Amino acid sequence: MAQRRKITAIVGLEQYNAGLWRKIKNMLDKDAELIQLSDVDLEKQNPEAATAIREADCVFMSMINFKEQIDWFKEQLDQASNEKTIFIFESMPEAMALTKVGSYQVTEGKSGMPDMVKKIAKMLVKGRDEDALYGYMKLMKIMRTILPLVPNKAKDFKNWLMVYSYWLQPTPENIVNMFRLILREYFDSDVKVEPIVDVPNMGLYHPDAKEYFKDVKSFKSWSKKRGVNFDKSQKMALLFFRKHLLQEKTYIDNTIRTLEKHGVNVFPAFVMGVEGHVLVRDWLMKEKIDLLVNMMGFGLVGGPAGSTKPGTAADARHEI
């Protein structure tokens, strides 16, 4: 019988998502033991978290951005007796440098976007510095389509990129298949890995619609069939995280329905986080909205990631 592998997932800003991770654990239960920790466990130096990190066969980490937390995490890795497969995304450079996927490792001091990737990403957004992170996300999607062309000698980099691609589409099913991919590729587990189910990086949403809207035109057309005419009333836009929409959307649905109940016509818009200003600038400003409510809890430019160059956030806000 194959050894039951242990996966420890450490994800920041996930306290609201306990239900999601319970579902993921249940779906993955026959394939591996999954322990989910948060940035709070690192901050408090939780003894149970220390054990989970040391004993894990695979560690997955995302959104950890405090040096003290990373230092403590590294101490636990150093005390472990086994070789680990480590995936770290969307975290500070000192954390990303701990990535170890087969022969692929992130070089210390170079854990951000490589220079060539930065240049291509900037080209995709026509040189706008404030859109650089958005361009990077577009580039990631393009790179996924060329993965079959990547030579076998770069297999570990290919797997690293594929795991990140699953993570960028964070439905429970995609996350479970992300872990199954890791189990198959690095622990010889006989598991079936389903392909990624894609969701638009940004778009519009309504709880009564069967699908997401990839542009304003299709959303307005659908709304018109419901008797809503955005051209003859005041308009309000809601901006919220795509991740929340995919994982815990109750508050989003309640907000939309409450506003509509009070006669407000709403553009409910979702973004991954880094492209909030792009959606507002390129989509919503053309609609001459009267009010924008940012429900993300982060700045409009760059979201949780901030911006790539000092001053660009203020310039982008001023343009809007």
Report the alpha-carbon distance of residue 155 to residue 122 in Å, rounded.
27
Token pair 């590294």 is found at 74
Report the alpha-carbon distance of residue 70 to residue 248 in Å, rounded.
28
Q: Are 128 and 138 in contact (CB under 8 A)?
A: no
Residue 165 structure tokens: 């691609």
Q: Are 181 and 166 in contact (CB under 8 A)?
A: yes
Sorted by sequence, the CB contacts under 8 Å of residue 251 that are 6+ apart come out as 244
- The CATH number of domain 5-112+146-187 is 2.40.128: no
Residue 74 structure tokens: 């590294």
Q: Are 241 and 211 in contact (CB under 8 A)?
A: no
Token pair 């450079």 is found at 93
pLDDT at 19: 85
Token pair 């649905």 is found at 253
pLDDT at 10: 97
pLDDT at 79: 96
- The CATH number of domain 203-319 is 3.40.50: yes
∠ CA 59-60-64, rounded to 5°:
115
Give the residue range(s) of CATH 3.40.50 domains in the chain: 5-112+146-187, 203-319
217, with CB counted inside 10 A (0-12, 13-18, 19+), is exposed
Strand order in the sheet with 235-241: 203-204, 265-271, 235-241, 291-294
Report the alpha-carbon distance of residue 91 to residue 224 in Å, rounded.
43
pLDDT at 82: 94
pLDDT (tens place) for every residue of the chain, 320 residues total: 568 999 999 999 777 678 889 999 999 999 999 999 999 999 999 999 999 999 999 999 999 999 999 999 999 999 999 999 999 988 888 999 999 999 988 765 544 455 545 555 455 445 555 455 555 666 666 767 777 777 778 899 889 989 999 998 999 999 999 999 999 999 999 999 999 998 888 899 999 999 999 999 999 999 999 999 888 778 999 999 898 898 878 999 999 999 999 989 999 999 987 677 888 888 888 898 999 999 887 667 655 554 445 444 555 555 55
What is the β-pairing status of strands 5-11 and 265-271?
A: unpaired
* pTM, to two decimals: 0.78
